[in-house]
Structure formats: C-alpha cells, structure tokens
Structure 1
Amino acid sequence: MASSIVEGGNKYRDYLSDGELKNTKWRNGPPSYDVVDKLFEQERTNVWAEGSVEEKVQRLLKTWEMEIVHKADPNELKTMDPNKFTISVNGRKGLTPAESAKLGGSYNIFLQTSLPENVRLYNPDDETFESSQNLFRSIFL
C-alpha cells in the first residue's frame, strides 16, 4: 500500500510520518493505531485493491477520523480545508472545524440533537471533548 500513502502514514492513514507526529499539536499526544489496525485486519470483510476507489475512500475516512479526534488545531487538518469545510447532522446548522471543537468535537458533533433535555439519554450539550472521549472509550469495553 506504500504507493497510496501521502506524506507518510501508517498502513491505513496518511499524515502520520515521523515529522508529522513531531510537529503536530495533538490533543493527548500522537495516536497509536497498532491495536485497532490489527483488529481491523482480522475482522474486515473486504480487502480493497491498492489504488482502487474503495481503498482511497477507506484511507480518506480513516485519516479524517484521526484528524478530527486527535489534532488540537483545526488549522492543521489536511483532509479538508478548515476555512471552507462544514459538517451538518440531522438538518442542523453546518459547523466549521473550530465550532465542532467547541461542541466537544469528534463523535460528539454527530450526536447533536433538538430533543428536549428531559428525554436525552446522552446530552451532547453537557459534554466537552475530554468527557465525550472518556465516555466513548469506556462504553465499548
């Protein structure tokens, strides 16, 4: 898969070269994907041909997820232009990467809701990036 790697990376994600790891502002230090990549390789149902559209999309999504979860500075995102990109969920207002970070970022942005607070099992309005990450990391153990 080396030919599809952009500026270094691991087997499935770009922008994880030694230089990137050293010079990027990480939320909690550089991520390690050793365990999750091993599980991915054991459990996946398709192995896409190198350079195929499917392999490129897989790499893009894994790299994007790495960036929104682990990079502290939205201006360091490379899978998107942080000045143009917005994400919108369930018809809500589009959010820039900086606005997403203020809402707790990463997975928390996908759980924004207009449900009344008294019926929410999870209230994204009460969560920070750190608290939402702690919940997501512990809930699937």
Structure 2
Amino acid sequence: MAYLSDDELLDTEGGFTGWDDGTGAGAEETLEQALAEERLAELENELEQDEHPVDYDAELETEEEEAAPVSEKRLKRELRAEAIRRLEEAARTEKDFRAVVEEWNKLDRNRERRERDHENLRGDVPLEYQAVPEPKLIPRWMNNPA
C-alpha cells in the first residue's frame, strides 16, 4: 500500500488554476443577458406604475374581508363613527358646531360610564373593614392608603 506525501496531496507547486466546470465566456454572456432582461422588466414595471398608479384608498378591503361576516355591533359602531365624521365635515354654523360638540360629549359620557362600571367601588365601607389589628406579614403603618 502506497501513501501519498503532503506535497502530493496539496499540490502546492502548481497553484490554483481555477474551476474546471465548463464556465467561460459563454456563461458570462448569459449572465449579462439575464441581467439586461431583469433591468428591462423593472423599467416596464416602473412605467406601468407611473401610467396607472395604485389607488390604495379605493381598495380598503380585500375580497376575503368583504365576504367575511361582520357583527351587528361593529356595523353600528362604524355607522355612528361615519355619521359623526360627516357631521364634523358639514358643520358651518355655530348651531352645527354645538351639535358636533354635543355628540362628542355624549361619547365621552358613555366612555366614562363604561370605565366607571369596571371600577371596584367600595361604597361607604371603610378601608379598615375586617382588617387584622396587628398583622405579622405587613405592618399596620404600611397599610395606610395615603
């Protein structure tokens, strides 16, 4: 059995001559042609965008969103928002502006009412109700609500 030396394995004397995979001038020409075709396609796309720009406001919903069922609450909420927006845009006189402000106040009152409904209201019950006289875990002086 014959072993090859390191010099024979590495062949450092001859140096690297390049890959022998058949690429040459023909491959460079095909690459240049593909690059030119790609540039031409990009230019055509840009020209198409310039001639017929996309109107993003016209297509707010996709076909899937239009076909999806919508709840009645959501529809009512959207209708109210649209009605208020139209009131705001159509307001010209002081009376119209008062009507708009009245609608805003109504919305604020409703929002505040909903927030209050979720608060933990204690009523007239003092904070010290059923409190341990001398707690061991948290001292009484740390239980001061102020």
Q: By percentage of residues, which structure has more helix?
A: 2
TM-score by length of structure 2 reads 0.21
Q: Which structure's CA Rg is the greater one? A: 2
TM (norm. structure 1) is 0.22
| Bigger RCO (CA 8 Å, 6+ sep) | 1
